[in-house]
Structure formats: structure tokens, C-alpha cells
Amino acid sequence: MVKKLLIGLVSLLILVSCDNRPAVEYVHLPGTEPASGANMPFTSAMKVNSGTVVFLSGITAAPVPHSHPHVPSEFDHVDFDAAAQTEQIMLRMTETLKAAGGDITDVIQVTKFIVDVGENQNAITATMNKHFGENHRPASTTIGIVRLATDPRFLVELEAVAVIK
């Protein structure tokens, strides 16, 4: 009985190790494939075949660490421009992913919480895409909000899910 169980486990391990699929696959709807010329700032879906899933808490441009409850004067030195805030967020996201054993291209999904979407979304998306590189676009959702809990001067918070291969 034990011998049969061991043979079964070894067979399963061999089958799993023969899986040549990428850890993550881009899922594009017809007409949204990069080769179609569509200028999509996101991917319709990401299919996870393997890897370690990492959930990143919402990240703002607030210094880390900072006081809780929040002390507004701790944020006085922050650049409150949407692109500058997103730059700080993407650097922190990269640092967090590195600490988890991955990198920014392991991100498969991003949720953007944005104050005044019409005014700020383009700068935020351009800054994010600079960090993701031209060949990586995670699935994403944008949510327009009235304000962030950290401080009313902040314009964007990003939350992400990554799969580390």
C-alpha cells in the first residue's frame, strides 16, 4: 500500500514538473491583442497557472512609517502632484515585491483609488506604465473616490495582487 502511494506521489510530481505553461498568461479579448494595434492601458484578464500569490495592501505616497492615527504635518513634505505621488507609490510597490521575492512585472491586478479621475487618471496611468514597462499591463480597475483616509491632499492609492514565479 505504501509503495503504491509513493509511486503515485512520484508520478504526480513528474507530471507537475513537466508543465511548460508560463506561471501567468495574458488573456486578451478579440481586437485588444497588442498585435491588433489597440492602445490598451490594461489587460482584460490574467490567468494564473502557478506561482505564489502576494496581496499588496493599499499604497499611498505617505512616508513609511507614519503615525496612526495620521498626523497631517508628517505629510507636509510630500509632493501632492498625481504623477509624483504615483512615482513614490510605484517605487514602494517595487520595494515591497522585492521583499516578497518578486518584481514589478509579477503584478497581475491593480485597483486604483483616485480622487478626481478626470483630472488625474492620465498622469497616474502614464507613471504606472513607465514602471511596468511597455510589454506588461496588469488587469486593472479604477475607482473614483471623494478622498483618501490618509490625508485629503493625497490623490491616489494603489492596491495590487502579484504572482511570483
Rg of the chain over Cα atoms, rounded to whole angstroms, equals 20
CATH (domain of 76): 3.30.1330.40
How many domains are contained in the chain?
Answer: 1
* Average pLDDT for the chain: 87
pTM value is 0.80
Q: Which domain holds residue 135?
A: 2-164
* pLDDT tens-digit map of 121-141: 999 999 999 999 988 999 999
Band (pLDDT 50/70/90 cuts) for residue 15 is very low
Helix locations, 39-154, DSSP H = 82-99, 117-132
Position 13 scores a pLDDT of: 47
Is the peptide bond prior to 69 cis by the omega test (within 30 degrees of 0)?
Answer: yes
Measured CA to CA in angstroms, residue 30 lies from 13, 34, 43, 66 at distances of 36, 10, 12, 46
